[in-house]
Amino acid sequence: MDSLSIDGVARHTSISRRALSRYFGTKQEPIQDVPQKTTR
């Protein structure tokens, strides 16, 4: 997870860095949200 960056996530998801930064406060939050959103 240390090598994870907001820029990398933005690049791989086609979401702007700014949008990611607004929606998620930290780089860990998108990763923590995945299991919750995929199990609903």
Calculate ∠ Cα 28-37-29, nearest 5°.
10
Q: What is the pLDDT of residue 19?
A: 87
Tens digit of pLDDT at every position of the chain (40 positions): 567 787 888 888 888 888 888 887 776 666 666 555 555 5
Q: What is the pLDDT of residue 4?
A: 73
CA 16 and chain centroid, separation: 11
Domain layout of the chain by residue ranges: 6-38
Q: What is the pLDDT of residue 9?
A: 80
pTM passes above 0.85: no
